[in-house]
Amino acid sequence: NAGVTQTPKFQVLKTGQSMTLQCAQDMNHEYMSWYRQDPGMGLRLIHYSVGAGITDQGEVPNGYNVSRSTTEDFPLRLLSAAPSQTSVYFCASSEGRNNYGYTFGSGTRLTVV
Amino acid sequence: GNSVTQMEGPVTLSEEAFLTINCTYTATGYPSLFWYVQYPGEGLQLLLKATKADDKGSNKGFEATYRKETTSFHLEKGSVQVSDSAVYFCALSQGNTPLVFGKGTRLSVIA
C-alpha cells in the first residue's frame, strides 16, 4: 500500500549539475503530474502525463524534462540545475478525469547552491 | 485559462472558533473542485471534493459547497482544533488537465 513514492527526500546540487527526481505509483493510475511548491506561490504544474508514452508541459516547464515509459514511473530530470530551481517538488497521480482526486507523494526538497 | 483565488493568510484562530476560508474560481463549464490540506513537513492530502453544482463535500468536520452562481467553494468548519493547523489549498480540475491550485492559506489554531 505504498501509494506515490518519491526519492530522494532531500538533495543538494551545485549549479550546473543534473539529476533525476524519481516518482513511482503502485495504484495503476493513468494520470501523473509534477508540481513545484514555492513560498507564496502555491503549487505550480511543471509537466504532466495522461498515460504511458504521453507527456505535456505545464505552467513552468523550462529546465525540466520528463518521460513516461511505464504506467508506474514518471521521473523528472533537471538538465542543468539553477538556484531558481530550489524548491519542494511533488509528484501526484490520479485514476483519470476530473472527478477523481490526486494522490500526492511526500515531496523532494531540492536546494541548488 | 482556469484559475483559483483563495484568501490570503495566515489565519489565526482560537480553539473552537468558526473557520471560513474563501475560494473562488475561473473556468468554463463545470470543473470539479477540491480542498487539499498540507500538514507541516508532509505532502498534500485530499480533504474533500465536489464534482457538480450544489454538491457539498464534507470530511473531518469540514464542509464546502459548490456554488456555480458565485463560482465559489468556500471551506468551513464549525469548531477548529489545534490539530487543524495546516496549509489549505483550493483546487480545480477540468477535462484532461491536472489540478490547478490556489496559493494556499495557512491556518494556525491556538489553544
Q: What is the pLDDT of residues A51-106, one digit of tens each?
A: 999 999 999 999 999 999 999 999 999 999 999 999 999 999 998 765 678 899 99
Question: Do residue A98 and residue B45 have CB atoms under 8 angstroms apart?
Answer: no
**Count of other CB atoms within 10 angstroms of residue A66:** 23
Residues (pLDDT < 50) of chain B are none
Q: What is the per-residue DSSP string for chain A?
A: ---EEEE-SEEEE-TT--EEEEEEESS--SEEEEEEEETTTEEEEEEEEEETTEEEE-SS-TTEEE--SSSSB--EEESS--GGG-EEEEEEEESSSTTSPPEE---EEEEE-
CA-CA distance, A97 to A104, in Å (whole number)? 16
pLDDT of residue A1: 64
**Taking an 8 Å Cβ-Cβ cutoff, which residues of chain B contact chain A?**
31-32, 34, 36, 42-46, 49, 51, 89, 93-104
As a whole number, the mean pLDDT across chain A is 93
Average pLDDT over residues A42-58: 94
How much of chain B exceeds pLDDT 90, in percent?
A: 82
pLDDT of residue B19: 97
Size of interface A-B (CB pairs under 8 A): 57
Question: pLDDT tier at A5 (50, 70, 90 boundaries)?
Answer: very high
Question: pLDDT tier at A35 (50, 70, 90 boundaries)?
Answer: very high
Q: What is the per-residue DSSP string for B7-21?
A: --S-EEEETT--EEE
Q: Which of A42, A58, A105 sits opposite B43 (nearest CB)?
A: A105
Residue B30 and residue B53 in contact, taking contact as beta carbons nearer than 8 Å = yes
Strand partners, B67: B72
What one-character DSSP code corresponds to residue B84? G
Question: pLDDT tier at A40 (50, 70, 90 boundaries)?
Answer: confident
Q: How open is the CA angle A105-B56-B21, to the nearest 5 degrees?
A: 65
Average pLDDT over residues A20-43: 93
Q: How far apart are the first and last CA of chain A?
A: 36
Range name among A20-29, A38-47, A85-94 with the lowest pLDDT average:
A38-47
pLDDT of residue B80: 97
CA-CA distance, A76 to A48, in Å (whole number)? 10
pLDDT of residue A109: 96
pLDDT of residue A99: 64
Q: Which of B31, B44, B49 sits opposite A90 (nearest CB)?
A: B44
pLDDT of residue A98: 59
Cell of A68: 513516461
How much of chain A exceeds pLDDT 90, in percent?
A: 88
Question: Do residue A92 and residue B42 have CB atoms under 8 angstroms apart?
Answer: no
The secondary structure element, H or E, covering residue B35 is strand B32-38
Task: Tell me the Cα Rg of chain A.
Answer: 13
In chain B, residues with a C-beta closer than 8 Å to the C-beta of A107 are: 42-43
Question: Do residue B103 and residue A42 have CB atoms under 8 angstroms apart?
Answer: yes
By the 10 Å C-beta count (0-12 exposed, 13-18 middle, 19+ buried), B11 is classed as: middle
CA distance A42 to chain B (A): 4
Q: Which of A41, A48, A90 sits opposite B43 (nearest CB)?
A: A90
**Count of other CB atoms within 10 angstroms of residue A42:** 21
Question: Do residue B96 and residue A107 have CB atoms under 8 angstroms apart?
Answer: no
Q: Which of B34, B95, B102 sits opposite A101 (nearest CB)?
A: B34
CA of A46: which chain B residue's CA is closest? B98
